[in-house]
Amino acid sequence: MTMNISRDEDRPAGPAPAENFTGDAMIKPLFQASEASNTVASQVTFPPSARNAWHSHPAGQALVVTAGSGWVQEWGGPKQEVTVGDVIWTAPGVKHWHGATSSETMTHIAIQDSVEGVTVDWFDKVDDEDYLR
């Protein structure tokens, strides 16, 4: 087979894991690594104030904001607002977080490569004080 169509209804969204997210974020898988590619992608929707924990990616990560507005922050840097159409590249090993603003939902597509089966390394959650700073 040279082409595969993954139907939307065959990839339902589910709740993001509570140990790595604050709020009721939803994750919809888009595609997984295969024999031909180590790239994985998912669509993540964050309701207002939802965000993921501090984390890094061994091969970096690209985010494409598709709806709403959100915040992204690199460890030690300022929190920055992102909106529809913005593309964020985070280099390999850079500790960061992303999520919705306190008043708007944000959806993005997250794309990253798997390195020896690992796409993400998780750290502590972003507490409310740091999130709102």
The letter for the amino acid at 97 is W
CB-count exposure of residue 104 (10 Å: 0-12, 13-18, 19+): middle
The domain tally of the chain equals 1
41 close to 111: Cβ distance less than 8 angstroms: yes
Q: Please check whether residue 2 lies inside any domain of the structure.
A: no
3 state SS of 71: strand
- Provide the CATH number for the domain around residue 123: 2.60.120.10
Q: Residue 106 is encoded by which pair of tokens?
A: 């944000």
**Whether the model pTM is above 0.85:** yes
What is the extent of the structural domain holding 52?
Answer: 12-132
pLDDT in tens, the chain (133 residues): 688 899 999 999 999 999 999 999 999 999 999 888 999 999 999 999 999 999 999 999 999 999 999 999 999 999 999 999 999 999 999 999 999 999 999 999 999 999 999 999 999 999 999 999 8
Q: Residue 99 is encoded by which pair of tokens?
A: 């999520």
Conformational region of residue 102, where left means phi above 0, alpha means psi within -120 to 50, and beta covers everything else: alpha
